[in-house]
Structure 1
Amino acid sequence: MISMKMNFRAAVLLGSILIGASPVLAETVLHRGNAGEPQTLDQAHTSINIEEFILKDLYEGLTVYDAAGKIIPGAAESWTVSDDGTVYTFKLRDNGKWSDGSPVTAGDFAFSFQRVEDPKTAAGYANILFPIKNAEKVNKGDVPVDQLGIKAVDDKTVEITLERPTPFFLELLAHQTALPVSKASVDKNGADFVKPGVMVSNGAYKLVAHTPNDSLTTEKNANYWDAANVKIDKVIFYPIDDQAASVRRFEAKEMDLVYNFSADQIDRLKQAYADQVHISPTLATYYYAFDTRQEPYSDVRVRQALSMSVDRDFLAKEIYSGSQIPAYSMVPPGIETYGEPSKADFGTLSQLDREDKAIALMKEAGYGEGGKPLEIEIRYNTNPNHERVATAVADMWKNTFGAKVSLVNLDVSSHYAYLQEGGKFNVARAGWVADYADAENFLALSLSSNKTFNYGHYESPEFDALMKKSYEETDPAARSKLLHEAEALMMKDQPVAPFLTQADLWLVATKVKGWQDNAANQHLTRFLSIAE
């Protein structure tokens, strides 16, 4: 009897403690609007930022971006660099574990980097790691994968040897392509290693569910080395490319974060939600690519004429409500090591003078009014802003050249897959967000050897030669000069027509704490918290 009474009292006392503690124990959930369905969760095949946002919650590279967009230690707690800048030695965290509790090892990183460069993997972003010794040769099949300049000195020491000093190498290691995979998991599960319930990850979160075109759910990884400081228990990503629907769900408090919303809503949203509206200038360029494999886009005069006839001021002010700025260079301003970009020469002309010059060029090429008819198809990924830009550009080309312009749109994954797989087109919308703060990241897109991102298949031996020299140049000033010459040549040839320097548009609910706007557009959930 006595023991029963004591047990009853203990149970009552325990119940009261649990009731009192319930607010602390309540699960915190972050609802993230993610602007589209990811093509893949395999870091070897990732290419767009809506995949990056998910992958960087699930996995952690040797380095990571903090809340302010600065590089800090990630899976590696420290590193040293040789005097000549070509050998990096990383010390992995002793308590670094995969979500299944097994240790994260140097062998996992060596395996992951070899997997990316292995030509059998066909990684579209393999070039990100080309600064590593023999990476390009491995990727081309010229040397075996075990010749890649990365080795596991021991279980917790990774040594990476570079082809040449690379000032932005630590930033490359924070890229999603450099995220590790568990060798044991890939060996066991093959392509299925990306599936919920199968995936083994080393980041702050683990994948628990994924219903394509509906939601993707992650939960806090209890085995993460810094799990004690991860404040949000669950993250649900919603792949909504319908921007109006995203805003409605934010306004209904169904989503806490929304990435990308229609720019014509900026004024209304600012009035209604004030500092919950975030407009953050970023290292990103909005451009159109011309398919140089076919006429008339193989003619530089046609490309120049089409590009210079586009009123970028109209696009920036009327469509993007001033949240983006007109662009006449592929490289955006704001890269400290590069300075002022090399702009297209027509950027200094008034819009009327540009149009006059464009008409003359088009006539000289034999197209437009009085010449061969211009029939142009503009491809873009589904998005109200992109549709408005395409409609405006179509109208400009119709009014200036009498062109007949049609529009074709696909969802973001299908659009970029089509371009990356070499599909033919006339003109295609694209955007590039810096993987690292260096002009090379934007210019390398147009190398003839870049089979993934050189959408228009631009080929210029002179451009390629300038870029090659820039890779071999160790003096920063001389390297910058070569990159400026390469950009000037590209802006003359106009294989791409830069329209806008972009800003990232986010809606961030007041209850989300720890958010910091940054040019790198890096917002890992591990640095956020929720205050109800």
Structure 2
Amino acid sequence: MRRISLAFVCFLLLFTFCSQPERAPEEVRVRLAADPETLSPISYSSSGALQIINLLFQSLLSADLGTNEIKPFLASGMPTVERQDSLTLFTYTIRDEATWTNGTPVTAEDVAFTLKVAKAPLLNNEGLKPQLEFIQDIRMDRENPKRFTFVCAGYAPEMELLTGDFFILPAYLYDPENLLQHIAVATLSGDLSELENDEQLKAFAARFNAPDYGRDPNLLQGSGGYILENWKNGQYLTLTRKKEWWGNNTSNTQHLTANPQRVSFQVIPDMTTALLALKNRQLDVLESIPAAEFEQLKQNQSFLKDYALHAPDAYEFMYAGINSRLPKFADKRTRQAIAHLLDVNSVIKVTQQNYATPTVGLIPPSVTKFYNTSLQPYTFSPAKAAELLKAAGWQREEDGWYQNIHGKKERLSLVVDYRAGNTSFENAAIILQQNAAKIGIPVQAQGLEGSLMSQNSKQHQFEVFFRSLSGNPFAFNFKPLLHTTYAEVGGLNFTGFGTPESDRILDQISNTVTSEAEMAKLLKRLQEIMYTEAAFIPMYYEKERLAIHRRFANPKISGLKPNYDVSAFTLKEE
């Protein structure tokens, strides 16, 4: 039976690779775990989608994975900064060479249009809108159509990055009828209820929010070096290098690259199948290799002749989320008890083969200036968990823990959700299940399809979950994840975390911080509050594990997602 199953996997693999265009000499084949829900530069929701969008569109500023530094991409340089009382002005100039796919120049009008799409009501922009809420207006330079100034509320060191860290859309493609032209950026702060009745905005929203809008190759054309050539659902997405890309005509900008002739993203949901494709030399890049398999590959001399293995410190962390809105989890001591049953060290050993670092907060332990070293990760302690449950009002009976909640006797039990197919999350759920059983708490672990889990999280239809998040060492605006204003249905604060103090801290971080020392003080205090509240429980930061074919040079290995820059790959001379 096993031999038949393996033959079937090989057949599917062969069919997938044979059903796409002939492989180009400079083609790079990368595994993609799932089809993106959308490639909209405004409303994308996965790291896989982000990697693809980065090849199609550009932002004013971005990270150079070769140096882990922020550098100008669409912008000709870093912005000039001028502080005026309660406002801060950031002035940019777009590169003279920068053009869209049709050859027309990228201008300040495109930036203004993108701001409108990111800030207007009715549009699917929930993920980006909080990041840009501090930008109150944009001022155009009358003499230079490529020069503009962002008018921003308050000041924080991160604003320099945040003002440049969003994809710029071509207005001519996305709004050929100029439906948003009459809306001023300055009107998109504060109460937007009147705009919700704007007929032109509603017409634009109906089109922009349509699922096809994030899948149409005719719209997915930005200022990046690639265009979408083919997208076969469940099989592959292929990007082709533009014949005449403006980035080839710049000097002293080694971070602007579009080297491979074609980049093909192979949709292979199952990691076992992906590893087989890698070993058969049908993939050039495979990331997120399970730790056990990564260790095996390190011992495979035949494989190592063709592939280089890399394990950079990543900025992706795993966390446990507890729905603090539910009455049985309302007392933080109950949540703390669950934290003492997670056994992070065992999870790291079992799921990561120790390719991970425990953490007490969202800040990577490697970012020592902001990480709160006075806190220690929750230790595995059933005794401490039982003590906390008693303090929270739970009483131990023969078959479990009980408490009177709203006049009804309730038994403490947990339903733990995780994304189906993710063995790390599955093992973490099993470890929690086994640990909780030791003190009489039944745990049901259930794997859910990714989109269903995302939907349930946004609708607050969960008890406990395991998820991961990607961060970076440049920005620490956690307001969309942790502020109570984003704890409503549909918001990104899934757990309902938040206190008046944490809200004040998040507001200060996003608006008024004036120094690194002040930022450090606020972030460390935020970590203390999160640690005590135990609704959003960071567990560990991962080391990425990836393989790249040795025929390519200049991979730019980095801790930043996706941990390499495929656009920079060059073929080695034979």
TM bucket normalised to smaller = 0.7 to 0.9
Q: Which amino acid aligns with 2:446?
A: V
1:132·1:160 contact (CA, 8 Å) conserved in 2?
no
Task: Give aligned pairs, total.
Answer: 485
**Number of the residue aligned with 1:199:** 220
1:161 aligned to 2:160?
Answer: no
1:79·1:88 contact (CA, 8 Å) conserved in 2?
no
The secondary structure found in structure 1 opposite 2:62 is strand
CA–CA separation in structure 1 for the residues paired with 2:228 and 2:139? 28
2:174·2:219 contact (CA, 8 Å) conserved in 1?
no
The secondary structure found in structure 1 opposite 2:246 is coil
Q: Which deviates more from structure 2 when the two are superposed, residues 511-520 or residues 164-173?
A: 164-173
One of 236, 239, 261 as aligned partner of 1:218? 239
2:225·2:245 contact (CA, 8 Å) conserved in 1?
yes
CA–CA separation in structure 2 for the residues paired with 1:416 and 1:263? 26
1:61·1:173 contact (CA, 8 Å) conserved in 2?
no
Alignment CA distance shift 1:211-1:413 (3 Å): farther
1:376 aligned to 2:414?
Answer: yes
The secondary structure found in structure 2 opposite 1:53 is helix
CA–CA separation in structure 2 for the residues paired with 1:424 and 1:149? 40
One of 440, 461, 464 as aligned partner of 1:424? 461
Q: Which amino acid aligns with 1:515?
A: P
The secondary structure found in structure 1 opposite 2:386 is helix
CA–CA separation in structure 2 for the residues paired with 1:430 and 1:299? 22
The secondary structure found in structure 2 opposite 1:162 is strand
Query: 1:449-488, aligned counterparts within 5 Å?
Result: 449-451=485-487, 452-470=491-509, 471-488=511-528
Alignment CA distance shift 1:150-1:36 (3 Å): farther
2:57·2:223 contact (CA, 8 Å) conserved in 1?
yes
One of 288, 308, 311 as aligned partner of 1:260? 288
Query: 1:91-490, aligned counterparts within 5 Å?
Result: 91-127=93-129, 129-130=131-132, 132-134=134-136, 148-149=137-138, 151=140, 154-172=144-162, 175=165, 178-188=166-176, 190-191=207-208, 192-194=212-214, 195-227=216-248, 230-272=258-300, 273-274=303-304, 276-335=308-367, 337-341=369-373, 343=375, 347=378, 351=380, 354-367=381-394, 369-370=396-397, 371-372=401-402, 373-382=411-420, 383-399=422-438, 401-419=439-457, 421-435=458-472, 437-438=474-475, 440-442=476-478, 445-451=481-487, 452-470=491-509, 471-490=511-530
Structure 2 segments unaligned to the other structure (5+ residues):
1-22, 178-206, 250-256, 403-410
TM-superposed deviation, 1:219 = 0.6
TM-superposed deviation, 1:402 = 1.8
Alignment CA distance shift 1:150-1:333 (3 Å): farther
TM-superposed deviation, 1:235 = 0.9
The secondary structure found in structure 1 opposite 2:135 is coil
The secondary structure found in structure 1 opposite 2:42 is helix
CA–CA separation in structure 2 for the residues paired with 1:183 and 1:57? 19
1:110·1:152 contact (CA, 8 Å) conserved in 2?
no
CA–CA separation in structure 2 for the residues paired with 1:322 and 1:172? 34
- Give per-residue Cα distances to partners, 1:261-301, cap 9 Å, x unaligned: 22221210111245722211122321011111113122211
CA–CA separation in structure 1 for the residues paired with 2:259 and 2:566? 9
CA–CA separation in structure 2 for the residues paired with 1:311 and 1:90? 48
Q: Which amino acid aligns with 1:521?
A: K
Q: Which amino acid aligns with 2:569?
A: L
CA–CA separation in structure 1 for the residues paired with 2:395 and 2:310? 43
2:456·2:462 contact (CA, 8 Å) conserved in 1?
no
CA–CA separation in structure 1 for the residues paired with 2:279 and 2:551? 13
TM-superposed deviation, 1:126 = 2.6
The secondary structure found in structure 1 opposite 2:338 is helix
Alignment CA distance shift 1:108-1:464 (3 Å): same
The secondary structure found in structure 1 opposite 2:312 is strand
2:319·2:467 contact (CA, 8 Å) conserved in 1?
yes
Q: Which deviates more from structure 2 when the two are superposed, residues 38-47 or residues 187-196?
A: 187-196
CA–CA separation in structure 2 for the residues paired with 1:521 and 1:443? 21
2:298·2:309 contact (CA, 8 Å) conserved in 1?
yes
2:478·2:506 contact (CA, 8 Å) conserved in 1?
no
- Give per-residue Cα distances to partners, 1:426-447, cap 9 Å, x unaligned: 0011212115524x33575211
Q: Which amino acid aligns with 1:406?
A: Q
Q: Which deviates more from structure 2 when the two are superposed, residues 222-231 or residues 511-520?
A: 222-231
- Give per-residue Cα distances to partners, 1:348-369, cap 9 Å, x unaligned: x5x4xx3211111123334474
Q: Which amino acid aligns with 1:453?
A: L
CA–CA separation in structure 1 for the residues paired with 2:342 and 2:283? 36
**Number of the residue aligned with 1:140:** none
Q: Which amino acid aligns with 2:435?
A: M
**Number of the residue aligned with 2:181:** none
2:98·2:246 contact (CA, 8 Å) conserved in 1?
yes
Q: Which amino acid aligns with 1:155?
A: P
Query: 1:14-25, aligned counterparts within 5 Å?
Result: none
CA–CA separation in structure 1 for the residues paired with 2:547 and 2:264? 16
**Number of the residue aligned with 2:191:** none
Alignment CA distance shift 1:105-1:32 (3 Å): same
CA–CA separation in structure 2 for the residues paired with 1:386 and 1:64? 31
CA–CA separation in structure 1 for the residues paired with 2:141 and 2:465? 43
2:59·2:168 contact (CA, 8 Å) conserved in 1?
yes
Alignment CA distance shift 1:270-1:253 (3 Å): same
The secondary structure found in structure 2 opposite 1:285 is strand
TM-superposed deviation, 1:336 = 5.5
Q: Which amino acid aligns with 1:30?
A: V
- Give per-residue Cα distances to partners, 1:384-416, cap 9 Å, x unaligned: 2222222222222222x3222222223334433
Structure 1 segments unaligned to the other structure (5+ residues):
1-24, 135-147
Question: Which structure dedicates a bigger proportion of its chain to helix?
Answer: 1
TM-superposed deviation, 1:173 = 5.0
One of 56, 62, 86 as aligned partner of 1:58? 56
TM-superposed deviation, 1:200 = 2.1
**Number of the residue aligned with 2:7:** none
The secondary structure found in structure 1 opposite 2:114 is helix
Q: Which amino acid aligns with 2:242?
A: N
CA–CA separation in structure 1 for the residues paired with 2:54 and 2:122? 25
**Number of the residue aligned with 1:82:** 81
2:79·2:160 contact (CA, 8 Å) conserved in 1?
no
The secondary structure found in structure 2 opposite 1:185 is helix
**Number of the residue aligned with 1:526:** 567
TM-superposed deviation, 1:127 = 4.4
CA–CA separation in structure 2 for the residues paired with 1:284 and 1:174? 22
1:128·1:172 contact (CA, 8 Å) conserved in 2?
no
